[in-house]
Amino acid sequence: MTVNKKQQVLHARRRMEIIIGSMTLGLFMLLIRAVDLHILQGDELKERAYKQHFHQYDVVAPRGAIHDRHGRILSKSIEVPSITALASEIPEKDLPKLAQALKISLSKLQSKIKNRHGFTWLARQVSPAIAERVAALNIPGVHQESEWRRYHPLGPETGHFLGFVGIDGQGLEGIERSMNQHLQGKLGTRLMQRDARGHSLPDGVWLQQPRIGKALTLTIDSNIQSIAYAALSEGIRKQRAKSGSVVVMNPHNGDILAMASWPSFNPNSFSRYRPSQWRNRAITDIFEPGSTMKAFTVASALESKNWQADSLIFCEQGSFRVANYIIHDDHPEGWLDLTGIIAQSSNIGAAKLAINIGARQLQQHLSSFGFGEKTGIDLGGESAGILLPTRKWGIVETANIAFGQGIATTPLQLAAAFSILANHGIKQAPHLVLPNETIPSEALKRVPSGERVISKKTSDSITQMLIAATAKNATGWRAVPAGYHVAGKTGTAQKANNYGGYAKNKYTAVFAGFAPAEAPEIVIVVVIDEPQQSIYGGTVAAPIFRNIAATTLPYLGALPETQTASWQTQRVATSLTQPPIAGMVGNFSHLSLRQAYQQADQQGYTLRSHGSGWVTKQSPAPLVALSNGSEVEVWLNE
């Protein structure tokens, strides 16, 4: 019995030791597991738990507005709905009606939520109608968020220099891209919470509110922009041309008042256009400037001190051999002074001047005018043009460059160069952005201005020569609006081909100049690519210049020297004596542009104009009720 008891006690002790050992091992394993979960995997598990109960996502902030020089909106951000979802919460049975409400195929909707359990975008920046249809379905897991979409009120008129913004709020072209850092707001962060079953709770909270971007003011005048765009598109239509561009610039400070290209595109729906249609031809496309270059060749000759305005050159009766190359003039001439070379557009006279002053001096002067280098405009994608180094100039190249062959420029470069002539020989770098309280002038990277390129005496002489080039017996007479003097030059250049020669029957027609000639307010450059009705700058580009100048100059306060007493004047006087009824649109018919702006201002309306001459059509019609500050649109014809 005693032995048995001892054995029982021994067995009991062993069992106890085994139990205690097992418990100790279990506790030790629990301790290890606790250390693993709380210390080694703690951060990962916390993050996983957070993701199961919360979801945070970025919200794009509204971009700063873009205004014209008078504070009119050119680009702004508008709030639009977007449809989001927590994919795992959407019942399978609701997918067909959700796809129908979103106006997408069921397969496309399924691909958006396939293998996804958390937050996803179903449709971004949708119309209010689609948002209302989706909300009415009240499908679990489907929500509506607000985003910001860019809107450009003037559409195609401003598409090329404003550019556009992608769906994520990034500027992709134009000013929207080049000034993206300034315009772009600061992202916001929103938090969405789920319950214990994983279902999202209504409403979210802001961890960080989006911060709106900074506003931008451009040098553009939206009225002049509309005038230039309308004149350009109408001129291209008449000539059945391939494309064209216009630049309107203030020569005294470098402000770009208008920059238009055609064909244009609507930045509000940019994805419907080819990328080739997005480019701003006024700064990207280069062309041989043709006879417009003669103004700078003559300026270089005057600056050389070897030539005076009344110096005579024999123009060889229309045919002149340079090495093995024959230079021709359209109209055979004998002796011409420097004014005659520009007025009669003599290739031979310009070539002889260039050969006399030499390649090096001509190249230096052309470079100082800005040819062969970027202007530094506040836009990306600008071309530097082509001005070869003098080591590549032979006597033939020197002669050709004198009348605009073998050199290439952009419309903006040519406008900047003519602005030097209009500004008494002083260069002002062109720019699009005006300093304001949010972007001081020192924050803008500007090309230095104020450099004297030619003497005032030379610029005054060239101005008189360019006035002669627009006289009735000269090539540019069609550029002159009634009551004004214009200093300008036509250009007709055969287009280069891809084989080192020139394409047959493909030309660029150009007119560049400034007005009023005696006290310039604006420089205008018109470039038309491959016109079909005529090839000459004097018949293709000059009338477009005239239409822009005839409307813009009175708008800027530069009145014509004489007012013709005609039936239009009499009918204008009649219409102005009839006071408009309060709260109703007055009759703008037969008013000049200046008078139309005066009447619109008196009535408290904003005026948008198209064309030049006298008002022939308006919208809304007279005596229609219209609130203060609304827009009236008028069309003018000569």
What pLDDT is attached to residue 564?
A: 37
Do 498 and 581 lie in one domain? The reply is no
Residue 8 has pLDDT above 50, yes or no: yes
Packing angle of the helix pair 294-303, 411-422 (nearest 10 deg) = 40
Q: What is the mean pLDDT of residues 244-270?
A: 94
Mean pLDDT confidence for 441-448: 71
Nearest CA-CA partner of 163 in 182, 150, 145: 150
CA gap 314, 335 in Å, rounded? 4
d(CA 534, CA 241): 10
Q: Which domain holds residue 609?
A: 567-637
Classify residue 483 by its DSSP letter: T
- Which pLDDT does position 202 carry in this prediction? 54
Cα separations in angstroms, 316 against 93, 319, 407, 517: 89, 6, 24, 31
Asked if residue 211 belongs to a domain, the reply is: yes
Q: What is the pLDDT of residue 351?
A: 96
pLDDT at 49 over 60: no
Measured from the Cβ of residue 635, the count of other Cβ atoms closer than 10 Å reads 16
Give the per-residue pLDDT at 572: 39
Strands 487-496 vs 433-434: parallel, antiparallel or unpaired: unpaired
pLDDT score of 556:
92
> What is the Cα–Cα distance from 287 to 280, expressed in whole angstroms?
14
Q: Does residue 386 sit within a domain?
A: yes
66 and 107 in a single domain? The answer is yes
State how beta strands 606-611 and 631-637 pair.
Answer: parallel
307 pLDDT more than 90: yes
Is 527 found in the same domain as 486?
yes
Domain harbouring 328, CATH code: 3.40.710.10
Please, which residues bridge with residue 120 across strands? 85
Predicted structure pTM score: 0.77
Region 353-365: mean pLDDT is: 95
Q: How sure is the predictor about 615, in pLDDT bands with cuts at 50, 70 and 90?
A: confident
Alpha-carbon distance of 144 to 122, in angstroms, equals 10
Does residue 291 have a pLDDT over 70? yes
- Kindly report, residue by residue over 187-216, the tens digit of the pLDDT: 778 776 655 544 555 556 777 887 888 999
Local structure of residue 490 (DSSP, 8 states)? E
If asked whether residues 596 and 583 sit together in one domain, one would say yes
The answer to the question of residue 2 being in a domain is no
Give the integer Cα–Cα distance in Å for 45 and 359: 76
Q: Which residue reads 């919208």 in tokens?
A: 619
Return the pLDDT at 295.
96
In a domain, 25, yes or no: no
Domain count, the chain: 3
319-323 average pLDDT score: 93
Number of residues in the chain: 638
Percent of the chain exceeding pLDDT 70 equals 88
DSSP state of 464: H
Single out the residue in 218, 236, 258 at which a domain terminates.
218
Q: Which of 428, 507, 511, 430 is nearest to 477 (CA)?
A: 511
Q: Are residues 185 and 250 in the same domain?
A: no
In 66-207, which ranges are continuous DSSP H helix?
Answer: 95-102, 106-113, 128-137, 159-162, 174-178, 180-183
DSSP string for residues in 299-355: HHHHHTTS--TT-EEE-GGGEEEETTEEEE-SS--SEEEHHHHHHTT-HHHHHHHHH
CA–CA separation, 534 and 485 (whole Å): 25
- CB within 8 Å of 513: residues ≥ 6 apart: 418, 466, 470, 476, 479, 486, 487, 488, 489, 523, 524, 545
Nearest of 499, 474, 496 to residue 487 by alpha carbon: 474
Same domain, 208 and 193: yes
pLDDT at residue 582 tops 70: no
**How confident is residue 314, by pLDDT bands cut at 50, 70 and 90?**
very high
CB-side neighbour CA atoms (13 Å) of 216: 29
Question: Are 193 and 53 contacting, i.e. CB atoms less than 8 angstroms apart?
Answer: yes
Residue 291 catalytic? yes
**Statement to judge: residues 498 and 596 lie in one domain:** no
Q: Kindly state whether residues 308 and 323 are assigned to the same domain.
A: yes
| Active-site hit among 77, 222, 226, 291 | 291
Domain boundary among 555, 582, 604: 555
Confidence at residue 9, expressed as pLDDT on a 0 to 100 scale: 73
Q: pLDDT by residue (tens digit) across 495-528?
A: 888 777 788 889 999 999 999 999 999 999 999 9
Residue 45: is its pLDDT beyond 70?
Answer: no
Instruction: Between 77 and 117, name the one with better pLDDT.
Output: 77
Structural domain includes residue 360:
yes
DSSP 186: B
Cβ proximity of 483 and 613 under 8 Å = no
pLDDT of residue 57: 66
Does 577 lie in the same domain as 620?
yes
Average pLDDT over residues 430-456: 82
Inside any domain, residue 385:
yes
Task: Give, in order, the Cα–Cα distances in Å from 143 to each of 112, 205, 382, 409, 429.
Answer: 15, 14, 44, 54, 51
pLDDT digits (tens, 9 = 90+) for 519-577: 999 999 999 999 999 999 999 999 999 999 999 999 998 888 754 333 334 333 434 33
> What is the pLDDT, as a whole number, of residue 567?
33
- Whether residue 123 is found in the same domain as residue 227: no
Q: How confident is the model at residue 578 (pLDDT cuts 50, 70, 90)?
A: very low
pLDDT, residue 36, reads 64
Among 125-134, 466-475, 627-636, which range has the highest average pLDDT? 466-475
Residues 338 and 199 occupy one common structural domain: no
In a domain, 4, yes or no: no
Residue 393 is predicted with a pLDDT of 94
Domain boundary among 492, 522, 555: 555
What CA dihedral angle connects 319, 322, 327 and 333, to 10 degrees? -40
Q: CA 163 to CA 16: how far, in whole Å?
A: 84
Average model confidence (pLDDT) for the chain? 85
- Same domain flag for 306 and 258: yes
**Better pLDDT: 488 or 130:** 488
Q: CATH code at 581?
A: 3.30.10.20
In a domain, 46, yes or no: no
**Lowest model confidence (mean pLDDT) among 171-175, 227-231, 335-339, 584-588:** 584-588
Helix (H, G, I), strand (E, B) or coil at 398: helix
